[in-house]
Amino acid sequence: MLSETALGISGSFADNHYLEPLWRFEEGAETLAQQIRQLDFLPASAEADHGYMPRTVEHFHPDRIILAKGCRGNNARVAFVEAICRAYPAAEVIERPATSHAQIDLGIGEPLPRHRCGKRTLVLGEHKSPVRFSEERSNCCPNYWHFSPYGFCPYGCDYCYLAGTRSVWFSPTVKIFLNLDEMLVRIDTIANRAGSPTAFYLGKLQDGLALDGLTGYSRRLVSFFGQHRWARLVLLTKSADVVNLAGLQPHGNVILSWSLSSEAAWRQFEPGTPSPAERLDAMRRCANAGYRIRAVLMPIVPTGEWRAEYVGLLDELLTIAALERITLGSLCSFPSALQLTDAKLGRANPIRECLSGGGQSVDGRYRFDSSRRLDAYRYLLKQIQIRLPSMPVGLCLEERPVFEALGLTDQIGICNCVL
């Protein structure tokens, strides 16, 4: 039974404040169904995988499910939405058919209570500009195509930078977007125009696998990218749920990357996430199934016995034979995200302590001071070199002087999100 609630609806609000939509289906263009049929490696029935039954996912227990604009698009989509709702029978189901996913107002003014409420709210809807090109400036990010079948994340990391972006700050709900087929049509178009292998990143504005048990999207993504001439998938996750990835054929076109922390950092800063040991096990299973594997060690918070802890992590990580790249990164967070970090951990917390000698960079993010970052990078680069000299290592969202000080200017542009 669909019920009503006191949740309010905001006025118009941009879905993402720093990226402009790059495409819309134009009037007079082929219908979406016609475009999908031309992709002979996609199922003829759009919107839902009729052979997939949504299942609950670990670390996510929504109190409410909001059906936003786009949930009633066609019969297959309606059936998919109803199946997701049945996976959480205790959750309140609220219909908002005229309201965009970006306009859901939780009616809570205080940032931390609003954030916590959002983590217990699942929004189903459609995303009108889900395939975009990043526009990083004032750092050495190479920029890349990324896409969004999900919005935000069910995990509880205390340092989460995404929680401070404007759209998530306003409406920090966990989102599933139902128009995956539109995204794949657009990706197909972009990749064919490029005429060369082109990465499409899933993990910039969400966790790439955390909700896969509910959607089964990974099965369709691997099928699409695995058979595409030019499009390549790079997916970043903390999830250890890789059941849906078994028995598929990635054909070297799918790169799975895990965000990793030391055991101590996981316990201190990453509540509600799979342990590092669980993630490493998932990486091994996917490597054995034929997927390309990468790792991102970020954010490295150099407190306590961090050196010994990360050496232990590297000893485990570098036993994965298929590992093809490691990317290192420090904390780089926006002011509003740090406000939430302080609210969760208290003002006197290890992240703030590390930031005490740093400050706000030109790109608007707060970072540790360069000497602290360089010390961490030098140590970890040395440990990787000792264990596996041939391992490529990149840096994420770093500034040119850091690359220069490390003698890594030839590695600028070689990181997790690109081929």
Q: How confident is the model at residue 227 (pLDDT cuts 50, 70, 90)?
A: very high
The predicted pLDDT at position 13 comes to 22
The answer to whether residue 15 scores a pLDDT higher than 60 is no
Domain positions in the chain: 32-411
Residue type, 16: N
Separation CA 226–CA 252 (nearest Å): 7
pTM of the model: 0.89
Class of domain 32-411: alpha beta
Average pLDDT over residues 276-285: 98
The predicted pLDDT at position 402 comes to 94
The answer to whether residue 229 scores a pLDDT higher than 50 is yes
Residues 35-54 have pLDDT tens digits of: 555 555 554 344 445 568 99
On whether the CB atoms of residues 302 and 374 are closer than 8 A, the answer is no
The answer to whether residue 140 scores a pLDDT higher than 90 is no
Give the strands of the sheet with 92-95, arranged side by side: 92-95, 64-67, 121-125, 174-177, 150-151
